[in-house]
């Protein structure tokens, strides 16, 4: 048992429960540096946690749920897994997404994300139900779309799966591409060669690869052309066989570019297309290839469409609030526009 039997104590309008943890070393990791992990649980669950020795006293209306979260985190430590801010966020998100709130078995109620994508540098775990479904789709389908707001892990998870497939020998190459579309700035005014101008657009892809592959190995693979990062226009005329190919920022691909890219798929390859329909930087009047692909390809066997919302944002909590605020403003503007059009 990760914790000893609990003692419920009436405390005015709330309930307090005392949890006793037997292993001092695991307790240190559970509490976190300067109590950071407990502070995060307090903030996310609306409880108060008092740490005394090997015991935690939990106060608040969500005592039972906090007890199960703490027990699950301790069980995770017992299993040799790391507990950090991301793991805590993941467990609480999974609870909010419909985890078994009645289960008394901590390891069953919060097993941690069931999927683990192992790479040379780290193990990636999806943090929300939408991320889990997306990860499974990437593993099972030859063509997968990930559509949703920034910060939901669409590209990061796709790169992790690509690196995992490359390490296991399922594919021979990783090819990452993006449309080189300006977002308010002109490439031509940036200093340097063509590569120097393109690199800033590709930087998010470099960052993701650096998280999963050692620097020297990544440099060697790029030199050998086994890992390629290039603008979408460079894909024309190629057949991409035995490769894991990722198209990032797909909302900025035109309809013709999207068709060109999708028809590059060769034998033994997989494709992931990620994009955010709310961040189209194409000129006015130019259709987004991502929107058209959704309409044209939805329901085609072998193609998976996966959608994310602001609740799946895994960056700073403010990012989710910002996205929600912008979505609400867009809805108000659209409602006002429709009202004005009525006779």
What's the predicted TM-score (pTM) here?
0.74
Structure tokens at 328: 């609400």
pLDDT of residue 189: 54
pLDDT of residue 13: 47
- Going 15 to 20 to 24 to 26, the CA torsion angle's sign is negative
DSSP state of 225: T
Starting at the earlier edge strand, list the strands of the sheet with 7-11: 7-11, 14-20, 55-60, 48-52
The H or E element that residue 143 is part of is strand 143-147
pLDDT of residue 1: 44
Bridge-based pairing of strands 243-247 and 270-275 is parallel
Q: Consecutive sets of 10 residues in the chain, 343 residues long: mean pLDDT of each?
A: 50 70 89 91 90 90 88 87 80 61 42 69 85 94 94 93 95 92 52 63 86 92 92 89 95 94 94 93 90 93 92 71 79 78 64
Q: What is the DSSP string of 273-310?
A: EEE-TT---SPTTPPBHHHHHHHHHTT-TTEEEEE--G
Alpha carbon 75 to its chain centroid, in Å, reads 24
Nearest to 94 by CA among 64, 125, 140: 125
pLDDT of residue 113: 44
pLDDT of residue 314: 73
pLDDT of residue 110: 45
pLDDT of residue 201: 72
How many whole angstroms separate alpha carbon 202 and alpha carbon 153? Answer: 16
pLDDT of residue 49: 93
Structure tokens at 65: 């749920």
Burial class (CB in 10 A: 0-12, 13-18, 19+), 227: buried
The H or E element that residue 117 is part of is strand 117-118
pLDDT of residue 317: 63
pLDDT of residue 180: 76
How many whole angstroms separate alpha carbon 277 and alpha carbon 295? Answer: 13
Domain architecture of the chain: domains with CATH = 7-109 (3.30.1370.10), 117-330 (3.40.50.300)
Residue 270 near residue 97, CB atoms below 8 Å: no
């Amino acid at each position: 048992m990760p914790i000893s039997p609990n003692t419920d104590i009436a405390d005015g309008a709330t309930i307090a429960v005392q949890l006793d943890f037997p292993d001092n070393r695991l307790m240190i990791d559970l509490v976190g540096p300067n109590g950071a992990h407990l502070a995060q649980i307090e903030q996310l669950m609306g409880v108060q946690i008092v740490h005394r020795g090997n015991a935690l006293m939990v106060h608040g209306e969500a005592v039972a749920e906090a007890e199960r979260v703490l027990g699950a985190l301790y069980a995770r430590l017992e299993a040799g897994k790391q507990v950090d801010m991301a793991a805590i966020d993941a467990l609480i998100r999974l609870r909010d997404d419909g985890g078994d709130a009645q289960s008394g078995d901590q390891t069953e109620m919060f097993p941690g994300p069931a999927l683990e994508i192992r790479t040379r540098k780290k193990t990636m775990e999806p943090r929300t139900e939408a991320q889990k479904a997306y990860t499974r789709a990437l593993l099972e389908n030859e063509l997968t779309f990930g559509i949703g707001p920034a910060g939901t892990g669409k590209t990061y998870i796709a790169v992790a799966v690509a690196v995992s497939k490359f390490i296991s020998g399922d594919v021979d190459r990783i090819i990452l591409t993006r449309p080189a579309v300006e977002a308010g700035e002109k490439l031509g005014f940036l200093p340097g060669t063509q590569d120097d101008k393109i690199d800033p657009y590709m930087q998010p892809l470099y960052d993701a690869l650096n998280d999963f592959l050692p620097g020297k190995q990544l440099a060697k693979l790029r030199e050998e052309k086994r890992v390629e990062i290039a603008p979408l226009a460079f894909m024309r005329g190629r057949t991409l066989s035995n490769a894991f190919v990722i198209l990032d920022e797909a909302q900025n691909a035109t309809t013709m570019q999207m068709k060109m890219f999708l028809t590059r798929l060769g034998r033994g390859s997989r494709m992931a297309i990620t994009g955010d329909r709310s961040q189209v930087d194409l000129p006015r009047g130019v259709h987004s290839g991502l929107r058209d692909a959704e309409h044209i390809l939805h329901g085609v066997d072998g193609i998976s469409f996966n959608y994310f919302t602001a609740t799946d944002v895994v960056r700073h909590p403010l990012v989710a609030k910002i996205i929600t605020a912008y979505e609400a403003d867009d809805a108000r503007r659209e409602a006002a526009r429709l009202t004005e059009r009525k006779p």
